[in-house]
Amino acid sequence: MELVKLSINGKEVEVPAGTTILKAAEQMGVNIPRLCYDEDLSSVGACRLCVVEVKGARALVASCATAVAPAMVVETHSPAVMEARKTILELLIANHPLDCLTCEKNGDCRLQDYCYEYGVKESSFVGEKHNYEIDDSNPFIIRDNNKCILCGKCVRACAEWCVTNNIDFAYRGFNTKVTPFWDVPYAESDCLFCGNCVAVCPTGALTEKQMHTKGRRWEFEKVKTTCPFCGTGCNFDLNVKDGEVVGVTSNPTSAVNGRQLCVKGRFGWDFIYNENRLKTPLIKKDGKFVEASWDEALDLVATRFKEIKEKNGSDSFAALSSARCTNEENFLVQKFTRTVMGTNSVDHCART
């Protein structure tokens, strides 16, 4: 592997060829702000907040989209860089609602964090402001284009993760916005409602409808768990407040899925509070289902299975397993069928 030696903030570092300046800086423990960059998405250098000063370059360069070069000399927090970042932040909030007090992403907004870090309280740029209607037509996602900073992360997530290309940039100049094709509401588009666009949004432009008014992000306890809807094994964080689940958010440490989730995994959790959900086993007595303990229900199943096997033989029994079970559970189903019931009549819904 070819290595490249360069200097960042006066310290030499050696990284593989093709590494971006941003990644090289991270290896040194230097944090460079970024809004449009995401390590799981392609780099486009759109927000320019990650600009750095490179000796000999005619202008500041976007560190997320610029590869290192031999003998390159980089300054990540020079006076020129700091001034540029402050100006960029002022430009971003010039047309951004400063309603942090009531915004759902308060405390979990990258734009808010960087304005605090760089001491940007207001914008010196005055002009026309957008006044888009909030789109809540989607049953799971609220879209507020007034808070969109056009970073394009949602566009790339939809194209690169989901491969649906449901949203993209429309119009030009001041009127540029991220929207489904033909600028229709989410509910009228080809949206799969997976919410991966929400997972990467750095501001309050895209938020989970189910979590609105349920609490601030710092009030939620994060409990990492495995999705129960299929056997893929996706992980996510249950957001818990006062002992109740209020929503699901992606966990970047998930080994199987990263931050990607389907609509069921991200938004299908509310079944746990459905009044029709069965919480105890039911057995039939005198023609009616009545509640029973687990021991009573399992003993009844074992007794009936034994009677059927003794009366009609092993091949009178068959088992059909499900893709909603884990591999381990499916293994136990076939093991039980073959060793306990004595038949090979076992199948799986995903086989076809």
Low-confidence ranges of the chain (pLDDT < 70): 352
- The tokens of 22 are what? 């941003």
Cα dist. 29→23, 25, 125, 215, 299 in Å? 10, 6, 34, 33, 59
Write out the DSSP string of 264-322: HHHHGGGGGG-TT---S-EEEETTEEEE--HHHHHHHHHHHHHHHHHHH-GGG--EEE-
Where are the strands (E) in 88-158, listed by range? 141-143
Q: Are strands 141-143 and 3-8 parallel, antiparallel or unpaired?
A: unpaired
Give the Cα separation of 297 and 309 in Å (integer): 19
- The tokens of 296 are what? 């009573």
Span 206-247, pLDDT tens digits: 999 999 999 999 999 999 999 988 878 899 999 999 999 999
What single-letter amino acid sits at 303? Answer: T
In total, the chain counts a number of residues equal to 352
Count of C-beta atoms within a 10 Å radius of residue 245:
18
What's the distance, CA 284 to chain centroid? 43
**173 touches 179 (CB < 8 A):** no
Rg of the chain (C-alpha set): 27
Count of C-beta atoms within a 10 Å radius of residue 313:
11
pLDDT of res. 322: 85
Span 158-199, pLDDT tens digits: 999 999 999 999 999 999 999 999 999 999 999 999 999 999
| Range list of H helices, 95-238 | 110-117, 153-156, 196-200
pLDDT of res. 352: 55
The answer to pTM > 0.85 is: yes
Count of C-beta atoms within a 10 Å radius of residue 140:
17
- The tokens of 349 are what? 């819904």
Please count the CA atoms within 13 angstroms of the CA of 278 that sit on its side-chain side: 10
Give the Cα separation of 53 and 59 in Å (integer): 8
Cα dist. 217→93, 211, 227, 305 in Å? 22, 10, 21, 50
Count of C-beta atoms within a 10 Å radius of residue 294:
9
Domains with residue ranges and CATH for the chain: 3-77 (3.10.20.740), 313-351 (no CATH)
Give the Cα separation of 228 and 322 in Å (integer): 12
Give the Cα separation of 43 and 326 in Å (integer): 36
Instruction: Give the alpha-carbon dihedral of 340, 343, 345, 350, to 10 degrees.
Output: 40
Give burial (CB, 10 Å; 0-12/13-18/19+) of 288: exposed
Kindly give, in sequence order, each residue whose CB lies less than 8 Å from that of residue 285, ignoring residues fewer than 6 positions away. Answer: none
Q: Are strands 288-291 and 282-285 parallel, antiparallel or unpaired?
A: antiparallel
